[in-house]
Amino acid sequence: MKRVLIVAALALAATTVQAQKFDDLATTPPMGWNSWNKFGCNVDEKLIRETADAMVSSGMKDAGYEYVNIDDCWHGERDARGFIQPDPERFPSGMKALADYIHSLGLKLGIYSDAGWKTCGGRPGSRGREYQDAASYAEWGIDYLKYDWCNTEGLAARGAYLTMRDALWAAGRPIVFSICEWGDSEPWEWGADIGHLWRTTGDIYPCWDCEYDHGSWSSWGVLRILDMQDGLRQHAGPGHWNDPDMMEVGNGMSVSEDRAHFSLWAMLAAPLIAGNDLRSMSEATREILTNKDVVAIDQDPLGIQGFKYKTDGDIEIWFKPLVHENWAMLVLNRGNEEKRVEFDWKTESVVDELSDRDACFDQGRVFRILDLWAKTDLGTTRQPLVAAVPSHDVLMVRLERLAGEGGESEAAH
Ligand code: GLA
């Protein structure tokens, strides 16, 4: 009875106080792990606890990963009063105990629901139960909600997500709100006031450049998803990110493909949500996920999504503006052969109208070039950059503005 009254009071409060999203969350792209890509519906509290332990022991927590997110299929039934319960066999200790454990490690717990009648996995959805579900999540100590879009026939996306945003606000616990409607209703146009991130595409698949046909829908390889991000960067920024889906690093692609995938997500200022088994990952996978220099590109406080500067056959060159007039640069080799690349800074002019920044190297501005994977110093932009980029791989560098060289302002480094 008490809980029913609390829910009623929260619903009433929501109609009298102007609801909004929790504003000071996800000021840089969220980082964490999600169960779906590797485990699908096979989730239980043992997996979640062990994954949280592995997030700490592997160095991922230290590298910035924070959220441990349970995707679909954690649900049991609703009780007689309509409150959702976790599956009693898979989560016998309950969600509150799990959240307490995750919090004791200095991590945060995420959960999943759906705006429709049922989730994609056929579990109870939140349609008509939004305030009740949000109150349960807050009571359990949940920190992140991924909200899916299956079984929503007849619903309008913006309104459905607005309802859950308001319900989370009314519940009173700051919860990152992850809009997962696959880009169908262009959430980048309306999502910034509602959620902290929005999926821009259908589901990812662990392949370099394939379409995996499920019959009525497809999931997509890394390059397919990358190409679908065109034209969206102006919508992203601190607190509201484009989400090209959770990562497939460690889920079957080659090491170079995984490295390229991770680097590209960092250039896109994408949420870095690992999707592999953290308990048994290889050292190569661990090294990719915990490369702090690459993570720092993703987490740069300006929160400016990178952009494709140039394409030459299989080679793409990407740039991302960083704080203190620095830049990240990535050379992607999409093709099946190693490619030799020469980039003569003096003849290039990198201009980003969106952020009103430029790196006109010919005007005497000099940058030091740091290779973020080889962890070597590649000299400065006084000499052309010459590199061999292996097939399905990247060269990723950080350009550090040298103080006192050219231009009027000096870099802080
Ligand atoms: C949809 C989402 C996925 C995952 C599944 C769960 O396909 O896009 O990320 O959450 O549902 O059923």
CATH code at position 334: 2.60.40.1180
Domain annotation covers residue 266: yes
Residues 126 and 236 in one domain: yes
Distance in Å, CA 141 to ligand 1 centroid:
23
Is there a single domain that holds both residue 285 and residue 346?
no
**End-of-domain residue from the set 298, 323, 340:** 298
Determine the average pLDDT of the residues in 108-121: 98
Mean per-residue pLDDT, 378-401: 97
Range in 203-212, 360-369, 383-392 the model is least confident about: 360-369
Residue-wise pLDDT tens digits, 160-180: 999 999 999 999 999 999 999
Q: Is the CB of 316 under 6 A from ligand 1?
A: no
- Same domain assignment for residues 143 and 199: yes
Does residue 120 line the site of ligand 1, with CB under 6 A? Answer: yes
**Does residue 224 sit in the same domain as residue 356?**
no
The mean of the pLDDT values for the chain is 95
Percent of the chain residues past pLDDT 70, beyond the cut: 93
Helix extents (H) in 43-179: 45-57, 60-63, 94-104, 130-140, 157-171
Among this protein's residues, is 148 annotated catalytic? yes
pLDDT in tens, 200-227: 999 999 999 999 999 999 999 999 999 9
| pLDDT tens readout for residues 290-319 | 999 999 999 999 999 999 999 999 999 999
Asked whether residue 412 is domain-assigned, the answer is: no
Residues 292 and 320 in one domain: no
CB of 114 closer than 6 angstroms to any ligand 1 atom: no
Do 197 and 328 lie in one domain? The reply is no
CB of 218 closer than 6 A to ligand 1? no
Q: What is the mean pLDDT of residues 25-48?
A: 98
Asked if the structure places residue 408 within a domain, the reply is no
Tell me which H or E stretch contains 311: strand 307-312
Task: Answer yes or no: do 283 and 392 share one domain.
Answer: no
Bridge partners of 213, per DSSP, are: 218
Query: Could you tell me the pLDDT band of residue 364, with boundaries at 50, 70 and 90?
Result: confident
Whether 411 maps to a domain, the answer reads no
The answer to whether residue 290 sits within a structural domain is yes
Q: Would you say residue 159 has pLDDT above 70? A: yes
Same structural domain for residues 380 and 292? no
The amino acid at 174 = P
Angle at 98 between CA 93 and CA 101, to 5 degrees: 125
The pLDDT of 310-337, averaged and rounded, is 98
Residue that finishes a domain, picked among 262, 280, 298: 298
Residues 289 and 220 in one domain: yes
Same domain, 250 and 379: no
Whether the per-residue pLDDT at 408 is higher than 50: the answer is no
pLDDT attached to residue 53: 99
410 within domain boundaries: no
Residue 359 pLDDT grade (very low, low, confident, very high; cuts 50, 70, 90): confident
| pLDDT for the residue numbered 361 | 83
How crowded is the C-beta side of 384, counted as CA atoms within 13 Å?
9
Query: CB neighbours (10 Å) of residue 231?
Result: 8
Answer yes or no: is 406 within a domain: no
Q: 74-78, 174-178, 307-311, 401-405 — which is least confidently predicted?
A: 401-405
Same domain, 167 and 77: yes
Residue 406 has pLDDT above 80, yes or no: no
Q: CB–CB of 69/39 below 8 Å? A: no
Question: How many folded domains does the chain comprise?
Answer: 2
408 CA → ligand 1 middle, Å: 50
Per the structure, the complete domain to which residue 115 belongs is given by: 2-298
Is the pLDDT at 352 greater than 70, yes or no? yes
Atom of ligand 1 nearest to the CA of 121: 12
Which residue, of 275, 298, 321, is where some domain finishes?
Answer: 298
Reduced 3-state DSSP string for 109-149: EEEEEECCCECCCCCECCCCCHHHHHHHHHHHCCCEEEEEC
CATH number reported for the structural domain that contains residue 261 in this entry: 3.20.20.70
Question: Is the pLDDT confidence value at 253 over 70?
Answer: yes
Tell me, yes or no, if 203 is annotated catalytic. Answer: yes
Which residue is it, tokens 């995750």?
Answer: 102
